[in-house]
Amino acid sequence: MQNTTFLSRILWGSTSSNSQATILRNIGSPRTSPRGKQQKFRIELGPSKPLEDKESKDFDIQEGEGRFLAEPGSDASVLLVDLKSALEAKRFPAKVRRARDLPFVFVSLGQNQSQDAGGGFNHQPHGHWTPIKLFIGEGKQEGEVFLNLNPVIKKGQFSIKDAEYGDIVLARLAQVL
């Protein structure tokens, strides 16, 4: 599994104690654009609730809603090249219209997981990663991608769910990154 690290420094916070929303703000990347600029965006994860089946309860699997929020002055050209490869997208989106935000539904696949050498995640031994599956768009234009977050080392990754979603996910993310 190929992962694209996109967050070299995450600012973690919440909107208020009542909303239980988590705001992640990307303020840098491992690589900058040829123009010396970096991608900037925020991720808002709303409150989540446990799924009711036994397996989901055993592994602390939860669902919720969130959104990506565009930041002014972002240049995600390098990140989009990396994402095209990691998501196995066949082409770059032709005409990208910037959007203020990009809503999604998420399923958190457990917490405190370790990442193995192949990029997958395990409950044992314990680690600090939280793998999250995102559902972006609707109907035939819905795509799925994994968002993996580690608050201890302040890093995040996008990783492929299925190659068939590569073009859809890349086109959607290009609107807000």
Task: Assess whether pLDDT exceeds 90 at residue 43.
Answer: no
**What whole-number distance in Å separates Cα of residue 174 and Cα of residue 177?**
6
Across the chain, the runs of DSSP E, i.e. the strands, are 3-7, 10-14, 22-26, 41-50, 61-70, 101-109, 114-115, 121-122, 130-136, 143-150, 155-160
Q: What pLDDT, on the 0 to 100 scale, is given for residue 32?
A: 55
| pLDDT tens, position by position, 54-68 | 676 666 788 999 999
Q: What pLDDT, on the 0 to 100 scale, is given for residue 119?
A: 80
149 Cβ partners below 8 Å, 6+ apart? 10, 24, 129, 130, 132, 155, 156
**What whole-number distance in Å separates Cα of residue 149 and Cα of residue 168?**
22
What predicted TM-score, i.e. pTM, was given to this entire model?
0.82
Q: What pLDDT, on the 0 to 100 scale, is given for residue 4?
A: 55
| pLDDT tens, position by position, 109-129 | 888 888 888 888 888 899 999
DSSP per residue, 66-112: EEEEE-TT---HHHHHHHHHHTT-SS--SSPPP-SEEEEEEEEE-SS
| pLDDT tens, position by position, 155-171 | 888 888 889 999 999 99
Task: Assess whether pLDDT exceeds 80 at residue 16.
Answer: no
